Structure 1
Amino acid sequence: MPTTLPVPIQFELPEGWRAEPPDAAGAPGAAFVARHPRPDAGFTANITIDGEFRPDAATLPEIAHESVERLRQAGTLVEAIGRREIGSADAPGLTQTLAVSALVGGVHRDLVQSQVYLSMLDVADPSKRAVIRLILTATASQHPQVLSDFQDFVRTVRPDTGAVS
């Protein structure tokens, strides 16, 4: 069952990408999934969105490291190949790129994940901090081709101040 985000957001999907129910896409813990129109070697690049309230004082680099450790605990080989803080003090963010070697659908795949972490305050209660995670997963060969779509997508993500809780 898909999760809901701790704070409402709005965004625009890149042209050609299509939303899919998280359960049907094999990402039941995600709040949102979009898939690229053209698979590469039997794997379809995808964008997932999830998030959680973080009442602790964990920094975005610490939260990103937790994601790497969760992948490793799931038996996935992971190497962080890049990490950079983005945004401002009022709207902090972090990007992380991972090389992932995993068994997907019974097939060994070399994948790349581009992860973006956005720290947002709950518009209804600014004392609550939420971290939204946006993830692009693609084959290593297709990643360079879909990365600009993901970057365009990330630029459209913003709090949905008109949403009803």
Structure 2
Amino acid sequence: MPTTLPVPIEFRLPEGWQPAPPDEVGAPGVAFVALHPQPDSGFTANITIDGEYRPDEVTLDELADASVERLREAGESVVVAARREIGPEGAPGLTQRVSFSAVAGGVRRELVQSQVYLSMLDVHDPRKRAVIRMVLTATAEQHDDVLGDFQEFLRTVGPDTAAGS
């Protein structure tokens, strides 16, 4: 069952990317999925969005580490290729690129994820912190080709101020 995001956001998908029901594409537990129009050797690159309220002081690094551990449970040869902090102090973020091997569609594939974590304060109650995670998953072969689309998408992500009114 798809989840909802803890804070409303707005964004625009890059040209050609299509939204898909999370449960129907094997992504339960995420709030949103978009699929690339051209699969690579039977694997469709995708963007997922999920998030949660984090009342604790857990850092974005710790959340990113937890994502890597979840990948290790489902895949093999998990390697964090890059990680860096982004954004201003009031709205910190973190990006990481992870490569791994996993079975998808009955075939072992070399995959790459670009993960972005954004920490957002609730506009109605600044004591509440939400973390939104956006992930691009693609084959190692196609990742660099769709990364520009993901970056274009990320530039459009922001709080949906109209949703609260």
| TM-score range for the pair, normalised by the shorter chain length | over 0.9
Aligned to 1:71: 71
Which runs of at least 4 in structure 1 moved beyond 6 Å after TM superposition?
none
Aligned to 1:20: 20
Partners of 1:69 and 1:56 lie apart in 2 by 20
TM-superposed CA distance for 1:75, in Å, is: 4.4
Aligned to 2:84: 84
TM-superposed CA distance for 1:76, in Å, is: 4.1
Unmatched segments (≥5 aa) in structure 1: none
Change (3 A) 1:76 1:2: farther
Aligned to 2:152: 152
Is the counterpart of residue 93 in structure 1 residue 93 in structure 2?
yes
Aligned to 1:108: 108
- Asked if the contact 2:75–2:103 (Cα under 8 Å) also holds between the matched residues in 1, the reply is no
TM-superposed CA distance for 1:74, in Å, is: 3.0
Partners of 2:117 and 2:35 lie apart in 1 by 20
State the Cα deviation string for residues 44-70 of structure 1 (Å, max 9, x = none): 000000001111111111110011011
- Asked if the contact 2:118–2:131 (Cα under 8 Å) also holds between the matched residues in 1, the reply is yes
1:136 partner SS: strand
Partners of 2:143 and 2:25 lie apart in 1 by 19
Aligned to 2:55: 55
- Superposition map of 1:118-137 within 5 A: 118-137=118-137
Report the identity percentage: 70
- Asked if the contact 2:43–2:105 (Cα under 8 Å) also holds between the matched residues in 1, the reply is no
Count, aligned residues: 165
Aligned to 1:45: 45
TM-superposed CA distance for 1:77, in Å, is: 3.5
Aligned to 2:143: 143
Aligned to 1:6: 6
- Write the letter of the residue equivalent to 2:121: L
Unmatched segments (≥5 aa) in structure 2: none
Partners of 1:102 and 1:34 lie apart in 2 by 20
